[in-house]
Amino acid sequence: MTIKDKLTLPTAEEIAIAQECSREISAYLETGTESQQIDISSKDGEKHALSIPTRALSLLVDILAQLGQGNAVKIIPIHAELTTQEAADILNVSRPYLVRMLDQGDIPHHKVGRHRRVRYQDLMDYKAAVDAKRLSALDELSALSQMHDPEY
């Protein structure tokens, strides 16, 4: 799946399969090793042994767990460059609002021709900073609330 593919929610059957597979793989996941062997069967029942990096297998468990909860999943490489629409979708804001943030220097970006591109990692760094500010503000509001109403 690429960044541009439309996400769809998993079906009830896919959810059930993902839940079972997530549990099964988790039971055999050996995080202390660099790779692990798995067997895959073809349509005709022929088994093929594969060596998979443990890190990739662990990521597969995470993906299956999300699908098992009924969530759509998208994988974006850390070094990916996003269009303004893709970046806006990730932040759940409008594209014009995101463009204003880029123009104000809130999020680093660069231009490819006339088009702006945002590195995924820069977007996640911005999101983490905003989330930290929100959490700090909520903590402060909670402290003020308890000062004014200690029983709360």
| Angstrom distance (rounded) from CA 65 to CA 69 | 6
What pLDDT, on a 0 to 100 scale, did the predictor assign at position 3? 46
| Angstrom distance (rounded) from CA 124 to CA 108 | 11
Average pLDDT, the chain: 90
Does the global pTM surpass 0.85?
A: no
**Percentage of the residues of the chain whose pLDDT score is greater than 70:** 94
Task: Report the b/e string of 57-92 with b at 16+ CB within 10 A.
Answer: bbebbebbbebbeeeeeeeeeeebbbbbebbbbbbe
**119: pLDDT strictly greater than 90:** yes
Q: 79-113: per-residue pLDDT in tens?
A: 899 999 999 999 999 999 999 999 999 999 999 99
Considering the chain, tell me which residue range(s) the CATH 1.10.1660 domain(s) occupy. 81-148
pLDDT-wise least confident of 2-11, 35-44, 68-77 = 2-11
| Angstrom distance (rounded) from CA 127 to CA 90 | 10
CATH of domain 81-148: 1.10.1660
Read off the pLDDT of each residue in 134-143 and give the average, rounded to a whole number.
88
**152: pLDDT strictly greater than 80:** no
What pLDDT, on a 0 to 100 scale, did the predictor assign at position 5? 55
In degrees, rounded to 5, the angle at the alpha carbon of residue 65 between the alpha carbons of residues 123 and 51 is: 90
What pLDDT, on a 0 to 100 scale, did the predictor assign at position 2? 41
| Angstrom distance (rounded) from CA 128 to CA 120 | 12
Residue 16 tokens, joined: 């059930």
Read off the pLDDT of each residue in 116-137 and give the average, rounded to a whole number.
94
What pLDDT, on a 0 to 100 scale, did the predictor assign at position 74? 85
Read off the pLDDT of each residue in 27-37 and give the average, rounded to a whole number.
86
